[in-house]
Amino acid sequence: MSSLTKNTLAGLREILTRGDASSVEITQDYLAEISARRDLNTFITVTQDDALVSAKVADQIRAAGQASLTTGLPIAHKDLFCTKGILTSCGSKMLSNFISPYDAEVVSKCKNAGFVMLGKLNMDEFAMGSSNETSYFGPVKNPWSPTHVPGGSSGGSAAAVAARLTPLATATDTGGSIRQPAAFTGTSGLKPTYGRVSRFGMIAFASSLDQGGLIAQTAEDLAIGMQIISGHDNKDSTSALIEVPNYESLLNDSIRGLTIGLPEEFFDSRLDTRMQSQIEEVIRIFTSLGANTVSVSLTHVAEAIPAYYVIAPAEASSNLSRFDGVRFGYRAEKPIDLTDLYECSRGEGFGSEVKRRILIGTYALSEGYFDAYYKKAQQIRRLIKQDFDRAFSLCDLLLSPTTPSTAFALGEKSDDPVAMYLEDIYTIATNLAGLPGGSFQAGLIDGLPAGYQLTGPAFSEAKILNAAHKVQQVTDWHTHYPEEIRNV
């Protein structure tokens, strides 16, 4: 492995500022690592030529004394963020030939900030999955153990960061798709408050739940990236018109006196005993730094998964109706008539998990079932939000495990959708309430990473990053990387 690619995003920024390496040199090293680790299947598209051109321009800007703090730094984008002139597949056969005519707002902001795009990252098809096994382009492998999943749906983003193929990756989280992969791969991931980051140009799964965010090695790196991608966007009606704080400047605030709530529902028999021990160590570190803990209850969190798996498929059913073989995307060959065109294009273009969720969602929205399912799920969603409101009247942040256990084996849960859905048991409620949540490293269990989750009130991303940064300053969990990489 190149010595350059071992650095964090913040470390690379210092290297560029000091002039110890150029953006072209850094980009070349990352492209070489990406080529060497094709076995992990983290990238769908590698934009090598474009990346080198962008890096050369970044070096020229830096030489002219006009560089910003992020000019010339590498990034890779989850393949559901539209990128002008570049394949945006959403991990699906349906969009395997879609060249976007415009950039997503997140991509545009990163370009304007001088980031160099290395490519587009693999993902579960249309972000539907918890293992990154539903991608049309094949499963992503966990760098810590290639026989294990990296989590999903942002598994490509998490695995690429863990393997040091990019220092920063965009990702999305609808029910845990940033935090769960971050936990499985020993990385740091942040799902911002709903509305903090523009969804314009982000291909929709469930519009009231989807939120763009980031995966990186450290909370500090997330703060650097969040400063760029956050903020109001007139092109997104759900974008929040709320001032963006200076995340990086708030990293070193004291957490002495911070009250951390421990949701009793997240520390039950479903939690692996070894995972519980790791989380207890995290709690001990927080208390040693001056934080206080208090037990809280999220009474309706048990209903989060059934509510989510009505709401999310219902919204997916509506959003994915546009993919019909007529306007864009995959089109079946030689249809008999228009109906056959629709049926064959969707039947051949969508994978089994996407079809499953479309069917569930269509059923939940159908006449005679809407009130019994969709409306009831929305009522439960309101109760879950009220539970969080009550909890945050007693504490500043909530701390819990991110996942019940470490990464599971490839294929282990592929034939059991319910078991797969239960992997998001600790993350889904945060999305239903529209709150920010982050997953951060909590050491290793039998050589596989563990993660802890911090959840905060709306727009408390800075407080979450500050707390995680304090832990990372007194631990070395975030510095570990897979043995396979050490031997490359």
Question: Which CATH number does the domain housing residue 102 bear?
Answer: 3.90.1300.10
Give the total number of structural domains in the chain.
1
Check if the beta carbon of residue 159 is closer than 8 Å to that of residue 185: yes
Q: Catalytic residue at 177? A: yes
The verdict on residue 30 lying in a domain is yes
CA distance 343 to 52: 42
**CB neighbour list of residue 54: distance below 8 Å, 6 or more residues apart:** 27, 116, 117
Catalytic member of 153, 188, 405, 439: 153
Catalytic member of 22, 78, 93, 109: 78
Catalytic member of 89, 157, 177, 460: 177
Closest Cα partner for 293 from 258, 264, 253? 258
Length of the chain in terms of residues written: 488
Q: If residue 453 lies in a helix (H) or strand (E), which one and from where to where?
A: strand 448-455
**CB neighbour list of residue 155: distance below 8 Å, 6 or more residues apart:** 122, 123, 124, 131, 132, 140, 149, 181, 184
Coil vs helix vs strand at 255? coil
CA distance 228 to 219: 15
The verdict on residue 476 lying in a domain is yes
Q: Could you tell me how far CA 487 lies from the centroid of its own chain?
A: 28
**Long-range contacts, stretch 418-422, CB < 8 angstroms, 24+ apart:** 420/129, 420/130, 420/131, 421/130, 421/305, 421/309, 422/305
**Which residues on neighbouring strands pair with residue 440, listed in sequence order?**
452
Beta strands in 56-163 (DSSP E): 74-78, 116-121
Q: What pLDDT sits at residue 369?
A: 83
Closest Cα partner for 452 from 268, 312, 282? 282
The verdict on residue 426 lying in a domain is no
Q: In 10 A of CB 13, how many CB atoms?
A: 19
Q: Which range marks the domain in which residue 163 is found?
A: 9-255+454-486
The first and second tokens of residue 126, run together, are: 């249309």
CA angle 370, 322, 82 (to 5 degrees): 120
Furthest C-alpha separation in the chain: 70
The verdict on residue 249 lying in a domain is yes
The first and second tokens of residue 19, run together, are: 């002039």
From residue 353, how far is each of 63, 130, 282, 341, 417 by CA, in Å?
50, 11, 35, 21, 9
Q: Catalytic residue at 78? A: yes
The dihedrals phi and psi of 116, each to the nearest 5 degrees, come to -105, 115
Q: Catalytic residue at 23? A: no
The verdict on residue 440 lying in a domain is no
The verdict on residue 425 lying in a domain is no
Q: What pLDDT sits at residue 38?
A: 97
CA distance 364 to 443: 41
CA distance 60 to 72: 10
pLDDT in tens, the chain (488 residues): 568 999 999 999 999 999 999 999 999 999 999 999 999 999 999 999 999 999 999 999 999 999 999 999 999 999 999 999 999 999 999 999 999 999 999 999 999 999 999 999 999 999 999 999 999 999 999 999 999 999 999 999 999 999 999 999 999 999 999 999 999 999 999 999 999 999 999 999 999 999 999 999 999 999 999 999 999 999 999 999 999 999 999 999 999 999 999 999 999 888 999 999 999 999 999 999 999 999 999 999 999 999 999 999 999 999 999 999 998 789 999 999 999 999 999 999 999 999 999 999 999 998 888 888 999 999 999 999 999 999 999 999 999 999 999 999 999 988 888 788 878 899 999 999 999 999 999 999 999 999 999 999 999 999 999 999 999 999 999 999 897 554 54
Q: What pLDDT sits at residue 270?
A: 87
The verdict on residue 228 lying in a domain is yes
The verdict on residue 400 lying in a domain is no
User: Considering the entire predicted model, what is its pTM?
Assistant: 0.96
CA distance 40 to 17: 32
Q: If residue 62 lies in a helix (H) or strand (E), which one and from where to where?
A: helix 48-63
